[in-house]
Amino acid sequence: MPLATLRQVLDEAAKGGYGVGAFNVNNMEQLQGIVGAAEEVQAPVIVQCSRGALSYAGANYIRHMIMAAAEDSSIPIVLHLDHGDKPETCFMAIDLGFTSVMMDGSLLADGKTPSDYEYNVDVTRQVVEAAHAKGVSVEGELGTLGGIEDGHGSGEVHLTDPDQAVDFVEQTGVDALAVAIGTSHGAYKFTAKPTGDVLAMNLIEEIHQKLPETHMVMHGSSSVPPELVERINNAGGKLESTFGVPVEEIQQGIRHGVRKVNVDTDGRLAITAALRETLNANPSEFDPRAFFKPAREAQKQVCMDRMQQFGAAGHAGDYTVLSLEEMKTRYAGSPVSA
């Protein structure tokens, strides 16, 4: 099946009232775990690559791997660029065949310094014009998340302003909007289980009321399961105690317009737990496949759990994937198009 676009997959998720997991990929085992999970529970899935992933695996390499996964698969798979730092990076991804890109104009091109609003509107709009002309979807970001991911992030939190969100969507024409509600990138999100005061879930409700047609994206939405942290530490790891975003909070977001949920850390933790345990239990083993198989299985399990929790399981066959050509026609009449 050809790759699906973010716009179509999230439009369908809105109709069905569920959220779609967006899982980060850096290598073959992660990809096979993620796509294997989606196949098993019949969920649409977003596979995303950060700039760090592209430089780790090689952009062309990773693209071919994901194209191969889509060819062999019968479920909708979106290939998405996570946190594009500048329009040129997004254009490069579009040329490579990505069906969706994120232009993160909430930060300057250094990926660290918070930008001003006009800059964000300007770079995001440039990307939307180029992307929609090719049928490719765009995610923008308004407000900044805490934490640092693959060297990306200012470490400062600026919550999204709902009125500004309305203006931003109008001016840029983005398909999806990443909102900052107090989550952070990385494994160390919260020092205690976050409550309603820590996570501004009311902002999601407010933005959804003002922008019912815009799909919201929750970044930094790993749940950081304590049992994975414990397994890693029991197998010789040294992770500090930490809390992620509770699945119930994500489910509440999904009830109010969150359609894309970014999960990276949980997969990393699952893989690390499986690797440490297998290496410890088999000290004489030196065939890498003996370690990578359980790691791939661990990534798959975490993804299946999230796909079920976000309500996406069982929805893979609800629709026929539209080609980029068909999406191009759909965008042709929209206010922000080339």
**Sites of contact with Zn ion (CB under 5 A):** 219
Please check whether residue 292 is in contact with residue 298, taking contact to mean a CB–CB distance below 8 angstroms.
no
Burial 238-269 (b: 16+ CB within 10 A, else e): eeeebbbbbbebbbbbbebbbbbbbbbbbbbb
Taking the least distance from each CB to Zn ion, the nearer of 173 and 220 is 220
- In the complex, the smallest distance separating the C-beta of residue 189 from Zn ion, rounded to whole angstroms, is 12
**320: which residues sit within 8 A by CB, 6+ positions away?**
none
Q: Say how far residue 110 (Cα) sits from the centre of its chain.
A: 21
- In the complex, the smallest distance separating the C-beta of residue 210 from Zn ion, rounded to whole angstroms, is 23
Taking the least distance from each CB to Zn ion, the nearer of 208 and 219 is 219
- In the complex, the smallest distance separating the C-beta of residue 203 from Zn ion, rounded to whole angstroms, is 17
Question: Within 13 Å of residue 285, how many CA atoms lie on the same side as its CB?
Answer: 14
Taking the least distance from each CB to Zn ion, the nearer of 174 and 316 is 174
DSSP 74-86: -S-EEEEEEEE-S
- In the complex, the smallest distance separating the C-beta of residue 50 from Zn ion, rounded to whole angstroms, is 8
- In the complex, the smallest distance separating the C-beta of residue 293 from Zn ion, rounded to whole angstroms, is 29
- What is d(CA 55, CA 35) in angstroms, rounded to the nearest whole number? 22
Enter the tokens of residue 78. 């979106």
Q: Which residue has the tokens 């992030």?
A: 153
Taking the least distance from each CB to Zn ion, the nearer of 7 and 260 is 260
Nearest CA-CA partner of 141 in 179, 114, 173: 179
Taking the least distance from each CB to Zn ion, the nearer of 185 and 208 is 185
Taking the least distance from each CB to Zn ion, the nearer of 179 and 298 is 179
- What is d(CA 90, CA 48) in angstroms, rounded to the nearest whole number? 13
Report the catalytic residues.
82
- What is d(CA 116, CA 323) in angstroms, rounded to the nearest whole number? 35
Question: What single letter denotes the amino acid at residue 130?
Answer: A
Q: Which residue is nearest to Zn ion (CB)?
A: 219
- In the complex, the smallest distance separating the C-beta of residue 262 from Zn ion, rounded to whole angstroms, is 5
Please check whether residue 213 is in contact with residue 169, taking contact to mean a CB–CB distance below 8 angstroms.
no
Which alpha helices (DSSP H) does 173-281 contain, by range? Answer: 201-210, 226-234, 247-255, 265-281
Taking the least distance from each CB to Zn ion, the nearer of 39 and 141 is 141
Q: Say how far residue 162 (Cα) sits from the centre of its chain.
A: 21
What DSSP state is assigned to residue 322?
P
- In the complex, the smallest distance separating the C-beta of residue 176 from Zn ion, rounded to whole angstroms, is 12
